[in-house]
Amino acid sequence: MKFCICMIFIGGPDDREALAVAWRMAGHPGIQLSVVRMLLFDEAAEVDTSCHTEAQGILSVVMDSDMQNDLDDEYLNSFRLTAVSNNDSISYSEVDVHSGEDIPIVLNELESLGCDLYINLEL
């Protein structure tokens, strides 16, 4: 039996947890896991600071975002070294996203993979 899973990783604690679950699922025979990280740039990466009126609040959001990005990088590097390097049924790729209009295009391309299960928590 073959079962294909595509995990779309955007970032943050929920995506790290979803990757952990997908990684455990990939440990079963017949499971093919593709992890695709969406790297947000330009307009797509803008932090929404409209709800913060004080400069300290804006700085806090940016610092938290930087910390989350560092945690994401660390977790994904560990995943790539441990899982991708040692298992032919697990793949990892990155896609650059520069605007909100790019997201549906990327998702349509991922749908063409024909996976049985798509995992994403942030979209």
User: Tell me, what's the pLDDT at 41?
Assistant: 86
pLDDT, residue 63, reads 52
- CATH number of the domain within which 63 lies: 3.40.50
In the prediction, which pLDDT does 50 show? 46
Q: Mark the ranges of the chain whose per-residue pLDDT is less than 70.
A: 47-63, 122-123
Number of domain units in the chain: 1
Q: Say whether pTM exceeds 0.75.
A: yes
Cβ neighbours for 62, distance < 8 A, ≥ 6 positions apart: 47, 49
Residue-level pLDDT at 85: 80
Q: Which residues contact 35 (CB under 8 A, 6 or more apart)?
A: 6, 7, 9, 19, 22, 79, 90, 91, 92, 93
Q: Which domain holds residue 52?
A: 3-119
Q: What is the pLDDT of residue 17?
A: 94
| Pair of tokens at residue 41 | 């740039």
